[in-house]
Structure 1
């Protein structure tokens, strides 16, 4: 079926306006690859994880509180996607998770690529802000597959925290970052990370 759809798209493309075809191919192609990621240095490698430092950089962010992490992440993603889609920018996504007493706080951010760092487009949505994140050092590891729910991320956080704390390093399970690097239609060698800020 997928082959038939792809063939139909190519057949349709051969009979339509070239500009429209370029737009469709650009958007579809963007769903299959990875994006520009923020620069970092690896400060130390440990058994099963590493310590990294990310320099201060600009991100575009949106924040909400919710008791349903999966639903709010989707809502935040599409809000931010409308911002980057207007500028044709494709970027990795971080979600800053903070557990609160009654509701959890979710702050989703898209990295602003280097070519836009000095002058990022101004958001038109009042719930979106360009933010200069300060330098941060984190403990992390890369895992594959799809991380689609808050429970997926929290499960990985629990596994990573065991590794880090086995080395005598304390991490917080109430404040962390969930990072996805890949387009939705990249099926193999996917990259997901939980970041625990170094205290």
Structure 2
């Protein structure tokens, strides 16, 4: 299947930037690969619920996301740049027509990594593209067995925005811990087994970047 000119340009940007920068060595650097070369796209619509000092809560609707991921044991090494690039290309291929309809699909935002942590410290990392509303009702099925459609449940999340290029796992975990501390100080609990790391901006945006960690209300449906 031939790539469109637009899609080929995006892939070339991704590959060139990957070559020029230092190796990606952590799980969260999937964001760096997944957000290179993207133009602004339709954003998932959430409902604002409440605001506190340094946090806000929202309802995130149940929507379909295109995802790929892998299990990581507590003793596993860091995810390599090659693994991350393969994950990126799998999702990009789905949008470019590697699906049951050979259909080229639009991409929404944010780019989201779902982080599920088990009691033994192992983690499941699923990198996901939001699918815009016009294909939500009937998205084509991925033909790559490593790509899947995930219907995330409706969730109440607690979040705060932060800027910069969030390209390493330490940044995301620091933000998550900071938000957790703010919420705990106000008597608000969140799930310890699930969080989402979300990036909204293309790489060529240097200022006023938007990143968000989503912490999930404990009594929400298990994702």
Describe the SS at the equivalent of 2:41: coil
Tell me, which stretches of 5 or more residues in structure 1 are unaligned? 1-19
- Give the counterpart of 1:52 among 58, 69, 82: 58
Larger Rg: 1
Compared CA separation, residues 81 and 45, structure 1 to 2 (3 A): same
Q: Which residue is equivalent to 1:82? A: 93
CA contact (8 A) 1:35 1:181 kept: no
Q: 2:115 matched to which residue of 1?
A: 97
Give the Cα separation in 1 of the matches to 2:106 and 2:145. Answer: 20
Residue 183 of structure 1 corresponds to 202
TM-score, structure 2 normalization: 0.70
- Specify the alignment match of 1:154 in structure 2: 173
Aligned to 1:8: none
Q: Distance in 1 between matches of 2:124 and 2:203?
A: 24
- After TM superposition, give the deviation of residue 123 of structure 1 in Å: 0.8
Structure 2: gaps spanning 5 or more residues: 14-35, 98-103, 219-223
State whether structure 2 residue 128 is matched by structure 1 residue 127. Answer: no
**Residues 1:43 and 1:151: Cα distance change in structure 2 (over 3 Å):** same
CA distance in 2, matches of 1:53, 1:84: 27
Task: Tell me if the contact between 1:32 and 1:186 (Cα under 8 Å) persists in the aligned partners.
Answer: no
- Contact 1:70-1:149 within 8 A present in 2 as well: no
1:118: Cα distance to partner?
1.6
Distance 2:64 2:140 in 1: 11
C-alpha deviations, 1:17-38, integer Å up to 9, x for none? Answer: xxx8x7489747x936432121
Pick aligned residue for 1:113 from 125, 128, 132: 132
Contact 1:181–1:192 (8 Å) recurs in 2: yes
* Structure with more helix by fraction: 1
CA distance in structure 1 between the partners assigned to 2:186 and 2:80 by the alignment: 31
**CA shift for structure 1 position 173:** 4.1
Q: TM-score, normalised by structure 1?
A: 0.78
| Cα 1:37/1:24, change in 2 over 3 Å | closer
Superposition RMSD in Å: 2.6
Range with greater deviation from structure 2 (149-158 or 167-176): 167-176
Give the direction of change, closer, same or farther, for the CA distance of 1:70–1:156 in structure 2 (3 Å limit).
farther
User: Size of the alignment, in residue pairs?
Assistant: 178
